[in-house]
Amino acid sequence: MQRYGVLVVDDSAVMRKYIGLLIEKDPQLFVAGIARNGIEAIEKVQMLKPDIVTMDIEMPEMDGMTALQEIMKICSVPVIMLSNQTDKDPALAFKAMELGAVDFYLKGQLLSNDAEPEVVKDFLERLKAVAENARKKSEGGWLKKVNSESVSKMIDDILKSPGIEKEPTTKNVVDLLIIGCSTGGPAALQSTLPYFSKDTRVPILVIQHMPPGFTRALAERFDTFCNLRVKEAENGDILEPGKIYIAPAGFQTTLYRRQDGKVGLKVQESFDEKILYKPSVDITLNSAAPIYKERLLAVILTGMGNDGLEGCRAVKRYNGHVIVEAEESCVVYGMPKAVYEAGLADIQVPLPHILNSIKLYI
């Protein structure tokens, strides 16, 4: 059994104890060490070489943000931010991920007496998935490297696929783009969304797993530097070309055809306790596939689990198109892997090639 060492960084002895007890609930995880501030964290990362780090944001002497920047300079260990502050200022969480953090969690969600078991389980599973992926990268244990030559071949394969004209243009194949992602998603989205041109002719709907309250801040942040208008999706929104919609956390977002022929969004609470993710990529894709049929493109980026698998199955059932992110650029190769191994992906490419692959369709 593979085991992964976690460095716990927090200025509170009580928090370090609670976080440590939480981590060691999973037999595959163990506390490799502790640090009381950012300065100690930098020293311990180099000395202990943990598989993953949990980092508090607010600490004396050196805060978590500063320590994160320094750690990213000296090694590639994944860092997950834990904080009580991000619920008040989600911009802190997004700033941390821009600096290199792979994910963030609110301490209140994990360490309170009434913490939901599914949330705690999800946290531990993410720790293991991120650590496993990072160790695999450091050991060079990839099953297949995708170089520029193989990427060119895969893109050429798309050009030869049914329904796509190579001359004079390959565009205008789809009328809607849906992007699904989870762990590592905000950084992946930042490598993609800002680079859509102002003349993009299709709506873009993003399904990103996040805590409630964060998707509005995410949309507002992207709206400041994207060429396209970005907003958090609201119940009753009509999909408009050249606009990016971020599905709100805590709800399920589905599509429906209005009497006037336009497509609208329903944003509703989900009462199905079996559905862990709110929003769920599966639920959104399942509603979109019968509406757009072969005119739908689904893109599955980094993320843990298999949300998107059943949705992509529906997309392909209606002759739509699917792109997935390749293993070597994923923070966690879970969601894309599930779709790829099920034979549902038209193409699998690393993150730097995702945008060009999308542009073949839109």
In the set 307, 321, 329, 357, the catalytic residue is 307
CA neighbor of 51 nearest in space, from 94, 11, 105, 8 = 8
In the annotation, is 307 catalytic?
A: yes
3-state secondary structure the chain: CCCEEEEEECCCHHHHHHHHHHHCCCCCEEEEEEECCHHHHHHHHHHHCCCEEEEECCCCCCCHHHHHHHHHHHCCCCEEEEECCCCCCHHHHHHHHHCCCCEEEEHHHHHCCCCCHHHHHHHHHHHHHHHHHHHHHHCCCCCCCCCHHHHHHHHHHHHHCCCCCCCCCCCCCCCEEEEEECCCHHHHHHCCHHHCCCCCCCCEEEEECCCCCHHHHHHHHHHHHCCCEEEECCCCCECCCCEEEECCCCCEEEEEECCCCCEEEEEECCCCCCCCCCCCHHHHHHHHHHHHHHHEEEEECCECCCCCHHHHHHHHHCCCEEEEECHHHCCCECHHHHHHHCCCCCEEECHHHHHHHHHCCC
In the annotation, is 148 catalytic?
A: no
In the set 182, 280, 287, 329, the catalytic residue is 182
In the set 56, 103, 209, 329, the catalytic residue is 209
In the annotation, is 321 catalytic?
A: no
**Are 333 and 301 in contact, with CB atoms under 8 Å apart?**
no
Q: Which residues are catalytic?
A: 182, 209, 307
